[in-house]
Chain A
Amino acid sequence: MAAKKHLKRGTPVLPQEIIQIILSNLPPNSLLRFKTVSKSWYTIISDPLFIQTHLCSSLSESNSFAKSQDPESQPVKLLEGPCGEYDVMSFCGCVLLLVEANISLKKRLVLWDPCTRTETYVWSPDICSGRQSYGLCYDRTSRNFKVVALSLETERYVVYSSRNRSWTKRHGFPGSGKPDTSAPGVYVNGAIYWVWRRSYNKIVIRFRDSTRFVNYDPFKNTFEEFEGDASCYEYEFVPYVH
C-alpha cells in the first residue's frame, strides 16, 4: 500500500470516504451541480443520510438568512418562487413557509427550499376560522420539518409533519386570554418562539420539537409548562440567540 496512485498531473486519487467529507462542506447549489460529475458522485450527493447530515450541520451554523442580510455578504438574487401570491410566514434554515395571500378559509401553504428549488404544497388545516399564526421548525428527533398552526379565535393548534404529510390536532393551547397579534413564530436554536400581546402584557411562548408549548422567561432562561393560566411577563423585544 506504500505506493501512492497518482494522476498524470500529480494529483493523488482520493478515496470515496474523503470525497464525502469534502463534499459535506459544499453549499447545496454546488452539490446539485456536481451530481453531473459522475454516477458515483450522483449517488453520494443523493444519499438520504448524506443529505440529513448536511442539513443538520447547516442548521447548526448561524442562521443562513441572518447571514444573507449581512450588508457585507452578496446581494440576494431574485428567484422565481412557487406560482401564486404568497406571504413569507416563517423560515427555518434554508426552508421558507409561504402562505397563500387571500381571505379564503382553505389556504395553500408551501414549504419552499430556494437552495434546491423544491416545494411541497399543503392545504391549511380545518381548525381555522379567523386569524391564524404559523411557525416552522425542524425536529431533529423525528427528522422532519414541522409547521405549527395556531387558530387564535378557537384557541386550538395543529402540527403538520413533512414526513407523515398530515396534520395532527394537539391539546393545550398556550396560556389564557387571546393574543392581539397573529405575527408568525420565529425559529431560533431548534425552537419556535412567539411574542404575543395579551391586553397590556407581552408573553413569550416556545414550541420545541414535538413537545408541548412552554412559557419562556428570557431573563431567567427558564421554561414553565402551561398548566391552566399562564403567567404574564412584560417584554418589549423579539427572541434572540444565546
Chain B
Amino acid sequence: MAAETGTPTTLTLKSNDDELFSVAESAAILSVTIRNMVEDGCAGGVIPLDNVDGKTLASVITYMNGISAIPADEEKKKSYRDKFLSDKDFETLADMVLAANYLNMSCLMDAVSAKIAQVMEKKSVGWVRRKFGIENDYTPEEEAAVKEEHKWTFEGVETDDDN
C-alpha cells in the first residue's frame, strides 16, 4: 500500500513464497540490501526478496519495526534483541541468520550469530552435526584421536534429548 504522492513512506516486500508485506521505509532501510534498492529507485513497486520465505520475513519485519521504534539507546536496543530472540528455536534462528546475511542487517546478524552460539555452547558434537546437517567425515580412529586431544572439553556437555 505505498503512498504514491511524493516519496513513498511505505514499502511492499515480497517473500520467495509470494507473500506481500507492508513496512515503513524508515524501518526497512535497516537492511542495507533494501536501502540500496530504494536509493537506486527500484522501490516504487514491489521489492522481491528471493532468498527469504514468508515466515522468516514476517519475523524480520517485526524486528525492524520493534528496533526502529527505540530511540538511540544501545542498552534498550540490546534488551529488545535479547527478548526478540529468546523464544526462537534453532531452525528459526538458522533461517534468520541467512535472512539477516542476505538483507545485510549487521545488528541482527551479530545478535542471531551470538544467540546460536549461546544455544550450541554446551551441546554435544552429535547434536551439532544433526542440527547443522554435517556428515561426520572422520574415520572412527581419526575421530577418537581428535577427541583425545581435547578430552576435557567433553565434560559437562548437555544430554541430547532437547531441541
Q: Pick the residue among B133, B136, B149 that contacts A13 (CB under 8 A).
A: B133
Shortest distance between the CB of B13 and any CB in chain A (Å): 15
Total A-B Cβ pairs within 8 A? 95
Say yes or no for B50: interface residue by CB 8 A criterion. yes
Say yes or no for B117: interface residue by CB 8 A criterion. yes
Among B126-163, those with CB < 8 Å from A are: 128-129, 131-138, 143, 146-147, 149-150, 152-154, 157
Interface residues on B, range: 35 or more
A36 touches B121 (CB 8 A): no
B146 touches A30 (CB 8 A): no
- Known contacts being A12-B98, A22-B116, A25-B113, is A30 close to B153, with CB within 8 Å? yes
Interface centre among B90, B109, B133 (most CB of A within 10 A): B133
> How far is A21 from B99 in the complex, measured between Cα atoms in Å?
15
Q: Count of chain A residues with Cβ under 8 Å from any Cβ of B?
A: 33
Interface centre among B113, B131, B152, B153 (most CB of A within 10 A): B153
| Cβ contacts A88-129/B at 8 Å (1 or 0 each) | 000000000000000000000000000001000000000000
B97 touches A14 (CB 8 A): yes
Say yes or no for A164: interface residue by CB 8 A criterion. no
Interface centre among A13, A19, A30 (most CB of B within 10 A): A30
Say yes or no for A38: interface residue by CB 8 A criterion. yes
> How far is A1 from B133 in the complex, measured between Cα atoms in Å?
20
A2-10, A62-70, A203-211: which lies at the interface: A2-10
A21 touches B113 (CB 8 A): yes
Interface centre among A10, A19, A34, A39 (most CB of B within 10 A): A34
Q: Which residue of A lies closest to B118 (CB)?
A: A25
B134 touches A32 (CB 8 A): no
Given known contacts A23-B117, A30-B153, what 16 new A-B pairs fall within 8 Å (CB)? A2-B16, A2-B50, A2-B51, A12-B98, A14-B94, A14-B132, A19-B132, A22-B117, A22-B120, A25-B118, A26-B121, A33-B154, A35-B146, A36-B147, A36-B150, A117-B150
Chain A interface (Cβ within 8 Å of chain B)? Answer: 1-2, 4, 7, 9-14, 18-19, 21-27, 29-30, 32-42, 117
Q: List 30 A-B contacts (CB under 8 A).
A: A1-B50, A2-B50, A9-B91, A11-B90, A11-B131, A11-B132, A12-B91, A18-B113, A22-B97, A22-B113, A22-B117, A22-B120, A25-B116, A26-B120, A27-B121, A30-B120, A33-B150, A33-B153, A34-B120, A34-B128, A35-B149, A36-B146, A36-B150, A37-B132, A38-B138, A39-B137, A40-B137, A41-B134, A42-B146, A117-B150
